[in-house]
């Protein structure tokens, strides 16, 4: 079971452990966003700290209709006790977790 | 006396009026709310559900693997959920800049791939090697890229989605 909290802004937060290919781990608080269709997004600083390799490029349409390109990185996330490979998008915003 | 839709007259409202009432109630809530106490029944229910899950480790399906199966009404066993750890492995890196990937990937998609896509590919992810024009289509983005990289580990990859202007949607940037 994955537990989280709801903050004062009514945002659902979960804390997940992320790991890069070099074995560096970090706990990251993610906002659960039901309007987000990718897996995870992280601030660039966290990606750098974890030493994540740049895996591909892609794009997304934001809520205001603007299309933004972003780098996609490969990482692992501890999900309910199991390490899983995931794509991580970097959009220079807060950490978000998709719920779609 | 407990509140009911009848005692509040809600049952006499139209659907539009009820939706408007939901908005009014929502807007009337304070911006921050600190519950002073969680009811005992709620704690008991949470503990009961947690115990049920803990008693059956491994039961359940990740949302990432489940959604494609729901979309095409198939079982989830065909969904390739990556589980092999990355630790210690060298992961190839994309070399081109984001602008180069977007330009080349967009051109290859429009000119070579879009005409080849079938109706059933709508909504699937398309991973494109912008160096060779090779591509892979899959309901799962990670699987599409992984399959492309299994053909060419050094691929410079751009990710699109069939039938959509972008691969992803992001609800909000804060």
Cβ within 8 Å, pair B91-A74:
yes
Cβ within 8 Å, pair A37-B169:
yes
For the record, the structure tokens of A53 come out as: 């390799």
Beta-strand runs (E) in chain A: 4-6, 12-19, 25-33, 40-42, 54-61, 67-79, 82-90, 96-98
Which chain B residue lies closest to A36 (C-alpha atoms)? Answer: B170
Assess contact for B142 and A40: CB atoms under 8 A: no
Walk along chain B (174 residues) and give the pLDDT tens digit of each residue.
678 888 899 999 988 898 889 888 888 877 666 666 677 888 888 788 777 767 765 555 555 555 665 565 543 333 333 444 444 444 556 678 888 999 999 999 999 999 888 889 999 999 999 999 999 999 988 889 888 988 888 889 999 999 988 888 876 544
Cα angle value B127/B131/B136 (rounded, 5°): 20
Assess contact for A91 and B170: CB atoms under 8 A: yes
Which chain B residue lies closest to A51 (C-alpha atoms)? Answer: B91
Q: Please provide the size of chain B in residues.
A: 174
DSSP, res A49? H
Q: Does domain A14-98 have CATH number 2.40.10.170?
A: no
Q: Which residues of A touch B172 (CB under 8 A)?
A: 33, 35, 62-63
Is the Cβ of A14 closer than 8 Å to some Cβ of chain B? no
Q: What are the residue boundaries of the structural domains of chain A, listed by start?
A: 14-98
* pLDDT, tens only, A61-97: 877 788 888 888 888 888 888 888 888 888 665 555 5
Q: Which conformational region is residue B58 in: left (phi greater than 0), alpha (psi within -120 to 50 degrees), or beta?
A: left
């Amino acid at each position: 079971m994955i537990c989280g909290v709801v903050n004062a802004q009514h945002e659902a937060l979960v804390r997940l452990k992320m790991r890069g290919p070099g074995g560096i781990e970090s706990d990251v608080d993610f906002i659960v966003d039901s309007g987000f269709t990718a897996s995870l997004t992280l601030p660039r600083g966290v990606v750098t700290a974890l030493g994540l390799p740049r895996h591909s490029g892609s794009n997304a349409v934001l809520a205001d209709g603007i299309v933004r390109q972003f780098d996609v990185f490969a990482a692992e996330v501890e999900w309910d006790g199991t390490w899983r490979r995931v794509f991580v998008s970097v959009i220079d915003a807060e950490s978000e977790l998709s719920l779609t | 006396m407990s509140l009911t839709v009848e005692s509040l007259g809600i049952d006499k409202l139209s659907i539009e009026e009820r939706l408007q009432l939901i908005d009014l109630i929502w807007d009337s809530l304070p911006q921050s709310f600190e519950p002073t106490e969680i009811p005992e029944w709620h704690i008991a229910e949470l503990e009961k559900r947690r115990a049920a899950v803990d008693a059956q480790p491994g039961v359940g399906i990740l949302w990432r693997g489940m959604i494609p199966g729901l979309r095409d009404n198939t079982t989830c066993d065909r969904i390739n959920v990556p589980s092999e750890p990355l630790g210690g492995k060298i992961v190839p890196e994309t070399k081109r800049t984001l602008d180069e990937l977007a330009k080349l990937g967009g051109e290859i998609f429009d000119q070579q791939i879009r005409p080849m896509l079938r109706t059933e590919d709508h909504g699937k992810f398309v991973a494109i090697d912008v160096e060779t024009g090779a591509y892979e289509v899959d309901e799962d983005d990670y699987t599409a890229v992984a399959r492309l990289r299994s053909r060419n580990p050094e691929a410079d990859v751009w990710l699109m989605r069939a039938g959509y202007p972008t691969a992803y949607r992001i609800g909000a940037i804060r």
